[in-house]
Structure 1
């Protein structure tokens, strides 16, 4: 095992495909995490989106709460501070967040399970900047999935028609300043992600830690031009744990650093709601029998997990 989570140059997918696929696949088999640099998303796009998100979180609490959808499970709009709780934890996370979903065509068959987006009227440009970042991360995620498909013997485009209308989520997060010492809550409790893969814009701030196979918490503070991409539970299940969904958390910084806010923007890439998560035959062997003999739809699995983390 390496002692450091690898960061790879995704341009090599075009110039050294076989070597890049092998290295990326090995990184995910060991860590479930990797950094992706030279990803092609302009820094100006990221900065503009972050500015809009900060402007929203700076609004009065009553204004933010007007965009909360009771009973919506946080699927769209605003989720207040003190709601989401990591699975198995008795303490809520120290964060508030907003959810941007896919913009659906009027005749989409997924309208019954994917709500329309909400947009804060108080922040000019929020919609445009959020959707631009959403599309850029969706495209980058598709490239990563293409490489992962090749690594396990699937066609490069295997995921394309299974994620083209996925219930993917862009989640701007605000972790407010921590004003009390010795509290039991952390910014994000130890958890695994629900989806196929997560792309994180903003891991350049300290706090993200990844649980190694040895049981050690390994800090992962990426370079500013690096997007962190990790495996989610849906892909772990689909690949029979060939790609592990690794436990991670966001810890509270020490001392005066805790008094500063933290922002991050993960993009949770999901399959289409009716995609059947059924273990791939190529990931089953005599030494590794199927861990999940019963398939489940992506939407069914999502709802099951949202109940566990107290969003529905």
Structure 2
């Protein structure tokens, strides 16, 4: 199927992904798991969770291999790869430009929100993803976003929302406070909302969670910069914004991201409310309270591209 694993699409802590082709010519992505945790829990999680789904904004699992220690997942092929490379890698061109464009980013943020809302409320069971980040959002030929990588997912009854688990799960920079410490609240679907909000901050800022060249990354906290600009009703001052429509889209994404990363889970919107905000007018949105975990930088930072999310 992969012609002896000839073309590698990417890799991660789980193993590697290869491009493949079925006998009928259908292109696929084959995810080969080499580092299995416990008794292959992440593999079983992924198969169990994603096999219950069918949504335009959730990647389709076409099959899997389970033969002794050999385990692989076969997905539909996403020709544009992950969202990560478009918002983090300025060398990646998109129709001659480094930036996806605010209209495209707006549609991608809305598509991911719809996919998450489906996982939380549209399935016959509730699925909590626990690893929403740009790397796990794949883009098809039309840049339609699809949520992928369900290795950390938890499945619960539709009526349930609060889940119990040992230790934190997810990716640093996107994990909700309550997942680290139950003192902040109970772990629930609102933990995915937090991760989504941090991803929106990435999409707006176009920067990684950490900047290797920054002397003190704890001083450079992008959500704080967002909050300052919105609170003072300043222009966003981003080079990629060229008209009022783009300014409105960027401002809307910023406001929604701040609502999503509220420290108290009960203050965060549901994904249905996120969709309503993204589909509505920016003028109808209120600026949320400042998340108290964020702290102002000790020195002003003028260029937004140098701002990063706290690791």
- If asked which structure has higher relative contact order (CA below 8 Å, sep 6+), I would say 1
> What TM-score do you get using the length of structure 2 for normalisation?
0.26
Normalized per residue, the structure richer in helix is 2
